[in-house]
Amino acid sequence: MKGEDAGEIRTTIRERYAKTALGSGGGCCDSGCCGSKEPATAEELALRIGYSRQELQAMPEGANMGLGCGNPQAIAALKSGEVVVDLGSGGGFDCFLAARQVGTAGKVIGVDMTPEMVEKARRNAQSIQCGNVSFRLGEIEHLPVADGEADVLISNCVVNLSTDKAQVFREAYRVLKPGGRIAMADIVALADIPEEIRRDVMLHAECVAGAERVEKLTRMLEDAGFHSVSIRANTESGKILEEMFPGLALKGIIASAVIEAAKK
């Protein structure tokens, strides 16, 4: 992708999520392509993609903004004392769930490139006195995390937003300890995405246009050094995506997926 195109996409994404953090944007669809149907609430969407009511009730108000496509901490098999890094942490929702699993002996680091999101997440952490979570401003292509600091990297519908996914995976490998692992939920492409969708900057910000083919993501992860790569698409997720973007004919083109891999 050309540098100027990547820059425009990055700026649009940052502005889009700043707006969401400030409460003037909602969920994953804000471009008007969602049609006239009333969109699902953040709670309804979270329940559909794998969170429990108990998890939702334990979170500070505003942490769940309906921005995910799965429940990464549910597949991460987190253990007490582990260090977790969340790529694109938003309001801190997945960080707070992970913090409960790693306990006070562990810690969770949330990284987000949007200052408004980082501030929102810090306020949320303070409101529930969650002392084993911190939030850092940074880009997932250049993580503000030391080499070998993390046991686990989680992410929820964020890697698809990057215009340099190979660099994201190289950074993930760098910050993981030997034997560390990634557990991500994201949007992937099952077939070639039409060029008119690829060119739509707002659809990049809404987790559609930047989705990459499963085979290509697998190669990127392996090239970064990961082994035991597994990308499992949830074809049933197409129903949710069709409801969100009824005019785009996305059936069979994109889906949510669980992405797992390990560092030697």
- Beta strands per DSSP E along 71-146: 83-87, 107-112, 133-137
Note the pLDDT tens digit of each residue in 159-175: 999 999 999 999 999 99
pLDDT per residue as tens digits for the range 62-76: 788 878 889 998 899
β-strand 176-189 against 212-213: which pairing, if any?
Answer: parallel
Q: What does pLDDT average to over the chain?
A: 89
Q: Which residue has the tokens 């004919």?
A: 249
- Please indicate, yes or no, whether the overall pTM of this predicted structure exceeds 0.75: yes
Average pLDDT over residues 238-244: 77
Domain boundaries, the chain: 3-262
pLDDT of residue 35: 41
Residues near 9 by beta carbon (within 8 Å), at least 6 away in sequence: 1, 163, 201, 204, 205, 210
Cα separations in angstroms, 86 against 16, 185, 246, 255: 20, 11, 30, 21
Has domain 3-262 been given CATH number 3.40.50.150?
A: yes
**34 or 79: whose pLDDT is higher?**
79
Better-predicted residue by pLDDT, 245 or 211: 211
